[in-house]
Amino acid sequence: MRNKIVGVFFIAVLSAAWSLEIKAQSDSMPMRTPDGQPDVSGVFTFRTITPFQRPEQFAGRETLGPEDAAAFEKAERIRQNRDLFDPEKGSGGYRPRAEGGVLSYNEFWYERGIELTSDKRTALIIDPVDGRLPPQTPAAQKAEQARRAYIEEHRYDSYENRSMGDRCIMFSKSGPPIRNGAYNNNLMIFQTPEYVTILTEQARQARVIPLGTPEKPSFAQLAGVSRGHWEGETLVIETTQFRGRENGGTGPHMHLVERLTRLDPDTVAYEYTVTDPTVYTAPYTVMMPFRRTDGPIFEFACHEGNIGLYGILAGARNLERQGRELRP
């Protein structure tokens, strides 16, 4: 009987040790889908308060130490807190109430994150090394000034003059490229042998990306035309044929390369490079982590496009009838 108990105990210990060894191996080995592809699938969040461009106060500093990072995070949480805004004086990009400023959502609606990236970077832009967007070409600067002047004068003429966000069509968090924002910084990635799909929570936009080199359509699209392939452990997605500058893109000449690499079971590195010599004097590259979250991905109901857009234009027509000034 004693030998039987010892034997059972030995098997239990061996089984536990084997389980730990398997876990250690699985943690160190690249994750794979059933068909053998690198596994970048899952539900992720990309919220962070790391600035897109490096603030002037951190010029020359790629990362922050623990104390400086904690101080910046605390200051940003206060600076961005909508419940602390003063609508009478104006703050956070809003004009004072006397100048027509209207404060929108309060802090309840926001999910921008409360921390920098885990490496405490001072910018999501990693190239150029100064963490700033490269200069625009003179022609692009002139075109942007003309575009803004037109919108300033005609923003209330028609729904066509409103942004893609106002119209609930596309948002920067939908991509491509994907950029973090104030809320709905979540997405789901799922794979098959022939396709990778990226479903973003905001706008519920699903990018179905063929793998390999299937024939491309001859026409441009709002989100461009994407094709993916594997380079080792990295999924590389190249996108061209953008219709215009929707969704924060540069324009029809933009060439976008996105790279997704599984770093560990909880993290996928998302990196993208934008090249458009008609707009920027050099390419730029952004890197931010996709961190695993339990989800789920929620349905996105865009109130603005359903009701708010009608109110914007109807309100403008009413002010015109009264002979009152239309303000931005």
**pLDDT per residue as tens digits for the range 233-259:** 999 999 999 988 776 678 899 999 999
**pLDDT value at residue 305:** 62
Residue pair 270/293 in contact by the 8 Å Cβ criterion: no
pLDDT of 198 > 70? The answer is: yes
Residue whose pair of structure tokens reads 């990226």 in the numeric block: 198
Question: Does residue 216 have a pLDDT over 60?
Answer: yes
**What mean pLDDT is predicted for residues 315-319?**
91
Give the pLDDT band (50/70/90) at residue 299.
confident
Chain mean pLDDT for the chain: 86
Residue 19 has pLDDT above 70, yes or no: no
pLDDT in tens, 303-313: 666 678 888 89
- Report the C-alpha gap between 279 and 250 in whole angstroms: 7
Judged on CB neighbours under 10 Å (0-12, 13-18, 19+), 202 is buried
- pLDDT attached to residue 204: 84
User: How many CA atoms, within 13 angstroms, populate the side-chain half-sphere of residue 273?
Assistant: 11
More confident residue, 262 or 17: 262
Pick from 4, 118, 125: which is nearest to 54 by CA? Answer: 125
pLDDT higher than threshold 70 for residue 288: yes
Is 319 in contact with 292 (CB distance < 8 Å)? Answer: no
Q: Give the SS3 label for residue 58.
A: helix
* Alpha helices per DSSP H over the chain: 2-28, 66-79, 138-154, 303, 309-322
Which residues are bridge partners to 291 per DSSP? 45, 267
Q: What pLDDT digit, counting tens, does each position of 84-115 carry?
A: 888 787 776 677 877 777 777 788 888 899 99
> Using CA atoms, how far apart are residues 313 and 320, in angstroms rounded to an integer?
11
| pLDDT recorded at residue 304 | 61
CB atoms within 10 A of CB 221: 13
pLDDT bracket for residue 1 (50, 70, 90) = very low
Is residue 13 predicted with pLDDT exceeding 50? no
- CA distances from residue 211 to 214, 229, 231, 233 in whole angstroms, order as listed: 8, 5, 12, 14
Task: Please report, for residues 153, 252, 323, the alpha-carbon distance to residue 102 in angstroms, rounded to integers and kept in the order given.
Answer: 20, 34, 21
- Look at residue 309 in the predicted model and tell me its pLDDT: 85
In tens, the pLDDT along 41-90 reads 999 999 999 999 999 999 999 999 999 999 999 999 988 888 888 878 77
Distance (Å, whole) CA 10 – CA 3: 10
Residue 174's pLDDT band (cuts 50, 70, 90): confident
Would you state the pLDDT for residue 325? 80
**pLDDT for res 12:** 41
Q: How confident is the model at residue 134 (pLDDT cuts 50, 70, 90)?
A: very high
**Calpha distance 226→216 (Å, rounded):** 9
φ/ψ region of 295 (left if φ > 0, alpha if ψ in -120 to 50, else beta) reads left
Give the pLDDT score at 306: 66
Confidence of residue 4 (pLDDT cuts 50, 70, 90): very low
23, pLDDT greater than 70: no
Percent of the chain surpassing pLDDT 90: 59
Structure tokens at 3: 């030998």
Lowest mean pLDDT across 10-14, 115-119, 144-148, 184-188: 10-14
Which residues, at least 6 apart from 31, have a Cβ–Cβ distance to it below 8 Å? 38, 39, 262, 265
